[in-house]
A = this chain, B = another copy of it.
Amino acid sequence: MNRMPVADRRQQLVGAALTVARTHGIDAATVRAVATQAGVSLGVVHYCFEDKSELLRALAQKVPGDASAQVIDALPDDATIVDALTLAVETLWRSMRENRDARILSHELTVAGLRDDDLTDIVQTQYAHSRATGELFLTRIADVSQVEWTVPLGPLCRSMIAVVDGYSLAWLVDGDDEAARGGLHGYARYLAGLTRPV
């Protein structure tokens, strides 16, 4: 009934797919479920996407793999490195708690990409993007605190992503808020120890 350009329709469908996947898991994001969620008929989805794989790939590119961007936005203009890191952890932690479903979806997608060749490239690209954003965060937080890192940024950023992912997964499994939050703060203390005033 509601005609619209294919490009717009695709956006709408990807949004619907995201809603379904976030709420009920990536396996629930079937062509049928997405069509229903978007309020269009089954044929419309097949008209806008070659096949389910293309829909999933479009979905994958819209799933935010990390919360680094939000954390960067919340950085103070001027603070000690300890205070800045503490704030960053609290921002990250709030984002995790408020978006549990999105976190799960992100892990689901990552794991799906390990077997599904159609998703592998996208997941790898997302991961590379995470690292770029992570390095940006580390650079920025050093700037506002007027410190510099005493170790190479690349490996440091990798460790940060590994730690955040690891605690995220553990928290999703056991739901122990204080353990997760405490663990992240512990890593922040470790990070603070790897800086020197500049």
A: which residues have CB within 8 A of B?
A: 24-25, 27, 104, 107-108, 110-111, 113-115, 123-124, 127-128, 155, 158-159, 161-167, 169-170, 172-174, 179, 182-183, 186-187, 190
User: In the complex, which residues of chain B have a beta carbon less than 8 angstroms from the beta carbon of A158?
Assistant: 167, 170, 179, 183
Judge whether B174 and A170 touch: CB under 8 Å. no
How many copies, total? 2
- Give A105 to B158 CA distance when docked, in angstroms: 23
Give the 4 A-B residue pairs with the shortest CB-CB distance, closest first. Answer: A162-B166, A166-B166, A165-B166, A25-B115
Q: Closest chain B residue to A107 by CB distance?
A: B111
Judge whether A170 and B179 touch: CB under 8 Å. no
Which one of B25, B165, B179 contacts A165 once the chains associate, using CB atoms below 8 Å? B165
User: In the complex, which residues of chain B have a beta carbon less than 8 angstroms from the beta carbon of A128?
Assistant: 174
15 new A-B pairs (CB below 8 Å) besides A108-B111, A162-B163?
A24-B115, A104-B115, A107-B107, A107-B114, A110-B169, A113-B173, A124-B174, A127-B174, A128-B174, A158-B179, A162-B162, A164-B166, A165-B169, A165-B170, A190-B190
| Majority-rule SS of A interface residues | helix
Q: Closest chain B residue to A113 by CB distance?
A: B173
User: In the complex, which residues of chain B have a beta carbon less than 8 angstroms from the beta carbon of A164?
Assistant: 166
Smallest CB separation, A73 vs chain B (Å): 24
- Give A164 to B155 CA distance when docked, in angstroms: 15
Which one of B127, B155, B167, B172 contacts A173 once the chains associate, using CB atoms below 8 Å? B127
Smallest CB separation, A67 vs chain B (Å): 15
Q: Closest chain B residue to A165 by CB distance?
A: B166
User: In the complex, which residues of chain B have a beta carbon less than 8 angstroms from the beta carbon of A186?
Assistant: 155, 159
- Give A164 to B104 CA distance when docked, in angstroms: 19
Judge whether B173 and A159 touch: CB under 8 Å. no
- Give A173 to B122 CA distance when docked, in angstroms: 10
Smallest CB separation, A98 vs chain B (Å): 17
- Give A73 to B110 CA distance when docked, in angstroms: 32
